């Protein structure tokens, strides 16, 4: 089923695009050096969807258009709470980059630097604390942030985990009750064995 051009335009209007970085790269070949440009583009709708794309091109405009198309293909859904923050603290490492994300109360604001801030803003976060260590590479910092956001477990995971824990607790209670019943039966059997048998009265 083919998507109409109007639907593509609507989806693009929902998302905001940000040119994160443009670099000039060279490739050495037998004929000499070939110059090209590498563009990194971020895409987000500020409602829990974020994507990143990188592409190369002979011109900056070509590289940017390719990177934006790649970013739409790599969209990821990230968790957003009522306070527009993350559900719990997490830390992730990618290559030499290490990022730590911490939830914050409403009114705290977005305390982040480098490309981490750009990713969080486009994803829709407004209150968060973050710390990044190890590298100043914008691309790697953005990738590790998206990796950290996509590593959060869904609500269904925790509900299933709670049901499993409840089932395990029920099994433990049932096993302890069975053990106590078996012990009581064993005690009564021992008592019956130890009790002396009553002698019959002697005949006159």
CATH at residue 137:
3.30.160.20
200 within some domain: no
186 within some domain: no
107 within some domain: yes
Residue 61 CB-half CA count within 13 A: 0
Query: What confidence score (pLDDT) does residue 152 get?
Result: 83
Q: What is the dihedral of CA 118, 104, 155, 73, to 10 degrees?
A: 0
128 within some domain: yes
37 within some domain: yes
Query: What confidence score (pLDDT) does residue 9 get?
Result: 58
Q: How high is the mean pLDDT of the chain?
A: 81
Low-confidence residues of the chain, pLDDT below 70? 1-12, 154-162, 164-165, 172-204
84 within some domain: yes
Query: Which residues, 6+ apart, have CB-to-CB distance to 122 below 8 Å?
Result: 16, 18, 42, 43, 44, 45, 46, 50
Residue 133, helix vs strand vs coil: strand
User: What pTM value is reported for the model?
Assistant: 0.69
Residue 198, helix vs strand vs coil: coil
Range of the domain at 61: 13-150
177 within some domain: no
Q: Tell me the β-bridge partners of 204.
A: none
Query: What confidence score (pLDDT) does residue 162 get?
Result: 59
90 within some domain: yes
Number of domains making up the chain: 1
Query: What confidence score (pLDDT) does residue 1 get?
Result: 39
Query: What confidence score (pLDDT) does residue 2 get?
Result: 39
């Amino acid at each position: 089923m083919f998507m109409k051009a109007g639907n593509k335009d609507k989806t693009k209007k929902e998302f905001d695009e940000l040119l994160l970085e443009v670099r000039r790269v060279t490739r050495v070949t037998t004929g000499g050096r070939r110059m090209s440009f590498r563009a990194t583009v971020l895409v987000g709708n500020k409602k829990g969807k974020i994507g990143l794309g990188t592409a190369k091109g002979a011109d900056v405009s070509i590289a940017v258009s390719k990177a934006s198309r790649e970013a739409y293909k790599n969209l990821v859904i990230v968790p957003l709470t009522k306070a527009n923050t993350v559900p719990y603290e997490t830390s992730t490492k990618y290559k030499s980059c290490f990022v730590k994300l911490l939830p914050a109360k409403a009114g705290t604001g977005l305390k982040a630097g480098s490309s981490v801030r750009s990713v969080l803003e486009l994803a829709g976060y407004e209150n968060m604390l973050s710390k990044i260590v190890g590298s100043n590479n914008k691309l790697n910092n953005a990738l590790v942030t998206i990796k950290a956001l996509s590593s959060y477990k869904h609500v269904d995971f925790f509900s299933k985990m709670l049901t499993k824990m409840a089932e395990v607790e029920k099994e433990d209670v049932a096993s302890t009750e069975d053990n106590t019943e078996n012990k009581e039966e064993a005690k009564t059997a021992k008592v019956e064995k130890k009790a002396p048998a009553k002698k019959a009265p002697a005949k006159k």
